[in-house]
Amino acid sequence: MDVPTNPIVIKTTPQDTVAIVANPQGLPRGTTLPDGIVLSEDIPMGHKVALTDLAAGDAVLRYGHVIGYANTPVKRGSWVNEFTISLPPPPPLDEIPYTPPPVVAADPLEGYTFEGYRNADGTVGTKNVLGITTSVQCVAGITDYICQLIRRELLPRYPNVDDVVGFTHSYGCGIAIDAPAAIVPIRTIRNIAQNPNFGGEIMIIGLGCEKLRPERLLPDTGNSGSSILYLQDESLEGFGDMVDEILTLAEKHLQKLNQRRRTTCPASDLVVGMQCGGSDAFSGLTGNPVSGFAADLIVRAGGTVFFSEVTEVRDAIHLLVPRAADATVAQALKDEMAWYDNYLMQGRADRSANTTPGNKGGGLSNIVEKALGSVAKSGTSPIVDVVSPGDKIRKKGLNFVATPASDFVCGTLQLAAGMNLHVFITGRGTPYGLNMVPVIKVSSNTRLSQRWHDLIDFDAGPVAFGLKTIDESGWDLFRLILDIASGRKQVATDKIGLYNDLVLFNPGPLT
């Protein structure tokens, strides 16, 4: 794609008092913008230029909303950044009005399908993976050892199985298991074991003396076909016996998984988790709105999409509450925000702890600006349900799955919610990859997708220059989602085999 070389700044609404420099090399001091503004200093790509003179205390508007207040007089044409804007207070939760939105029947989208693995419980997998769940950190070493052995020695005999994944973590013992917050990591592990890509074949390795009993990780629907092995079982003599016993169990599950075949499934069986990480000022202009458009298409097709990251929606919650399908959902949204406000407060922090040096380097001055761009990935559909951390989704449509914004904690909780495909939007770049579900990485700017040509799956950057519309790019992403879900195409991290560890969210105490 040829990026235009003439000066380009992007203003989202007519009220905005700042615009974003789109040119990949930034714009030098003295540049005259199309509307006659002359830049009084160099402004890097993604950063903001003042479109009007601002007095100290004046609101700075982007996306038509206040992202902060000038803390010093700012002249038209100068650089507006985290040093010249002060952070406004978050929207007060008890003052957000709610009236149920008018029920508008979504324009249904029919005829879109993908090739997936249908499970007995009705869910659909996009990969065929043997998942080995663990109840405690003590067994992580042997689980990694076993996974390598299975990959090397067993998988060649089960050609329909894509991979084996050991779900190891640091939870399970040395924990206050009866503390109310312990339910979060426990249900996260239990629900991940039931991820659609594992095909209902649940295999758990425990030690034997841990607080988290492996039986608690079995589904409520019963444990037929599930298997648990304790390393401390007295029939096992040494490491060799443990390995043999685990391999025997694994083979039983592999035989069943090997019989799975892809069948044509409606797009309504998609469960797509959306997350951003390493965001920049383009994320809210390109990557997130494009993903939001694709989210609307999935919802129109009867499928499920969720967005997450509490600290990145907190400052836009007044825009989300009115989209709640009913008063219960509106309240649940506010409750999740309040829970997190309190969680941060206990650690003597607030939502401003979110925004990294990289976010700021990419032009995002503060959490308000970041949140206003972040929520664009939710599209425009009504929010039908709110899912607490570690819980599974209950309804099709657009869900809010409450999670921290930390990439791997969010991804882990989205896996627990039941996602079978992940869309990850990035501006600064991250080699993020998960081994349980395909992760489509969307770049917010073309400079990144060109530099990281073998790590980025989809470039939303052309939208910034009007070379593609959000709709066109959103349709392209939707089609890519169907291809990836079908196994017709592979995401970059699956081609390379590049995967991050999962990270549990444990708000409870250790002992």
- To 5 degrees, how large is the angle CA 466–CA 457–CA 274? 85
CB closer to Ca ion out of 229 and 421:
421
Tokens of 500: 């991050």
CA distance 257 to 68: 54
CB closer to Ca ion out of 217 and 285:
285
CA distance 372 to 310: 12
CA distance 426 to 287: 7
Nearest to 151 by CA among 168, 175, 135, 129: 129
Where are the extended beta strands (E) located within 335-428? 383-387, 397-401, 421-426
CA distance 114 to 348: 47
**Least distance (Å) between residue 422 CB and Ca ion:** 11
CB closer to Ca ion out of 475 and 499:
499
CA distance 477 to 497: 22
CB closer to Ca ion out of 243 and 503:
503
Q: Residues 184, 270, 218, 221: is their CA dihedral positive or negative?
A: positive
CA atoms within 13 A on the CB side of 89: 3
Contact 185, 171 (CB under 8 A): yes
Contact 136, 207 (CB under 8 A): yes
CB closer to Ca ion out of 309 and 494:
309
Helix axes 287-300 and 470-485, enclosed angle (nearest 10): 60
CB closer to Ca ion out of 67 and 409:
409
The CA–CA distances, whole Å, from 25 to 21, 374, 468 equal 9, 24, 21
Q: For the chain, what's the residue count?
A: 511
**Least distance (Å) between residue 419 CB and Ca ion:** 14
CA distance 482 to 53: 48
**Least distance (Å) between residue 178 CB and Ca ion:** 31
CB closer to Ca ion out of 84 and 403:
403
Closest residue to Ca ion in the complex (CB): 277
Strand, coil or helix: 38? strand
**Least distance (Å) between residue 190 CB and Ca ion:** 23
**Least distance (Å) between residue 172 CB and Ca ion:** 25
Tokens of 360: 């700021």
**Least distance (Å) between residue 312 CB and Ca ion:** 7
CB closer to Ca ion out of 322 and 358:
358
CA distance 100 to 372: 22
List contacts with Ca ion (CB under 5 A): 277, 405, 407, 410
CB closer to Ca ion out of 113 and 356:
356
**Least distance (Å) between residue 358 CB and Ca ion:** 12
**Least distance (Å) between residue 434 CB and Ca ion:** 13
CA distance 182 to 185: 6
CB closer to Ca ion out of 407 and 494:
407
**Least distance (Å) between residue 414 CB and Ca ion:** 10
Q: Widest CA span of the chain, in angstroms?
A: 82
**Least distance (Å) between residue 278 CB and Ca ion:** 8
